[in-house]
A and B are shown apart, each in its own frame.
Chain A
Amino acid sequence: MDKTELPWNNPVVEANASAPAARLGQYAQPPLRNFGSIDPYNRISREAKDMIPPPFEYQAPTSVSEALALLGKNPEAKVLAGGQSLIPLMRFRLASPAMLVDLNRIGDLAYIKEGEGWLRIGAMTRESDLDQSDLIAKKYPLLADTTHVVADPLVRNLSTLGGNLAHADPANDHPATMIAYRAQIVATGPKGERTIPASEFFKGPFETALAPNELLTEIRIPAPGKGSGGAYVKMERKVGDFATAAVAVQVSLAKDGTLERVGIALTNVGLVPIQASAAEKALTGKKPDDAVLRQAADLAAKAAKPESDARGSEEYKRALVKTLTVRALRKAVARAQGG
């Protein structure tokens, strides 16, 4: 790559704050800075050139229909939401989409609304907005737990719920949570909307049920009734890391204190988030005493399909799932009993 290809060689002008952008003219002023003989590549680092994405077309539609039209016409396009996974992939050149369709200028995709038995969250709602929502803190502890441990605060200021799901990284935190909640994912395409149960949304690593011309527009979580509670318990090597393993639990208790509905799903112990169906079934209708919870945790650990890697051996991760499931169940049950 020669220097003329550097993406930062365009001139910058000082502009009058009140002047409309269009009237700034032809950038008659010289660039503020001239590199002269300095090669910025050498100055930054030997690897810096690998950290610049390859060129791509960029479109920033302001409505869902405009975005859908762009996706329909450009099958090679990739959707840019918060960008906190996609932009790193592009910098590493692991992804090199011909076009980015940036959803950040579509204002009406960011909302948190409750009504008619559902919590509806716009796909472009950022993690930090979920984290700061009183409604979610009060009524949706599983979601509150989850959003609080996604990456780090700086990433959460940009990353979105829709992006976390549509990216479908098996290490992402929200997929398991949405399966435990029995959430519905709304996909909008040229023919309108369809809803996909979270348990059927994740098809493989980075693969979802979304068609290339569809957008994930909304997430619907069933509003929990009385006697419901949930918890997300994650083991990470340090703050901001992906989960070594994590467990999402959502329960509701019947009047007699037995478990009426149980959702359990596991993060990063398989190629997709895993619904621990046998464990869910073993708990349903039972009193949530510790022996019963431990038995279910054994079943959850059996359902896990972890692989050995830098975060731990297969054996360790399986044992971890067991422990985290017991902890998440205890926490969820305590919350359900408390409210």
Chain B
Amino acid sequence: MSTHHIQVKVNGAVKAAEVESRLLLVHFLRESLNLTGTHIGCDTTSCGACTVLWNGRAVKSCTLFAVQADGAELRTVEGLAQDGKLHPIQVGFHEKHGLQCGFCTPGMMMASVALLEANPKPTEDEIRWGLSGNLCRCTGYVNIVKAVQQAAEQMQG
């Protein structure tokens, strides 16, 4: 069995572990670190429920091995709220009813955060394009877009 020592920074905290090479990043986050906010939706690199930020880029954590994240800075949905205060994207999803069943929400929010950090004033088209790797099976896209728009306004103060 091939195991490797990795050290990653997750939501600001450094974590170290011995991981098997075949351990997927999403399983490392959920099962080893107990960060179950990151969901597994499809297991086929299709749905984006497992989206996390890997060195600032939004990626599908089911399609990256944990060993590849050695030395990386990761952000998950658990890292959004700071000091008990919700992140503007969380406020947006709450106030604009950006979720129905909520399963896709962590991935949607992480992809949105990456989008807004790269492009603070996205048009509606840019939001839809930016979130095109994230599927909502409730088809609640209209309110998801509104949530991102509200967050964009809020983040600009």
- Please give the residue numbers on chain A whose beta carbons come within 8 Å of chain B beta carbons, in ascending order: 6-8, 10-17, 21, 24, 27, 31-33, 40, 44, 47-48, 51-58, 60, 83-84, 87-88, 90-91, 100, 102, 104, 128, 151-155, 157-158, 239-240
Contact = CB atoms under 8 A, between A and B. Distances in A.
B15 A21 contact: no
Contacts of B15: 12-15
A159 B6 CA distance: 23
A21 B22 contact: no
Contact of B20 (A15, A32, A55, A83): A55
B44 A88 contact: yes
Among B1, B16, B111, the most chain A Cβ lie within 10 Å of the Cβ of B16
A14 B43 contact: no
B68 A102 contact: yes
A175 B44 CA distance: 23
B99 to A, nearest CB: 19
Contacts of A47: 43
A88 B2 CA distance: 20
Contact of B14 (A15, A55, A91, A153): A15
Contacts of A7: 19-20, 22-23, 27
B2 A48 contact: no
A104 B54 CA distance: 13
Contact of B23 (A8, A21, A33, A60): A8
B64 A240 contact: no
B17 A84 contact: no
Contacts of A157: 54, 57-59
A48 B43 contact: yes
Contacts of A51: 43, 62
B18 A10 contact: yes
Given A58-B4, A155-B60, A87 B65 contact: yes
A88 B63 CA distance: 7
Nearest to A238: B132
B132 A240 contact: yes
A8 B32 contact: yes
B27 A32 contact: no
Interface in B30-51: 31-34, 40, 43-46, 48, 51
B71 to A, nearest CB: 9
A32 B16 contact: no
B48 A154 contact: yes
Contact of B132 (A10, A44, A54, A153): A153
Contacts of B4: 58
Contacts of B46: 240
Nearest to A8: B31
A16 B44 CA distance: 35
Given A15-B7, A53-B22, A56-B21, A21 B45 contact: no
Contacts of B48: 152, 154
B63 A83 contact: yes
Contacts of A11: 17-18
B132 A58 contact: no
Nearest to B40: A44
A15 B133 CA distance: 33
B51 A54 contact: no
5 contacts: A10-B17, A15-B7, A16-B14, A55-B20, A158-B64
Among A7, A32, A55, the most chain B Cβ lie within 10 Å of the Cβ of A7
Nearest to A27: B18
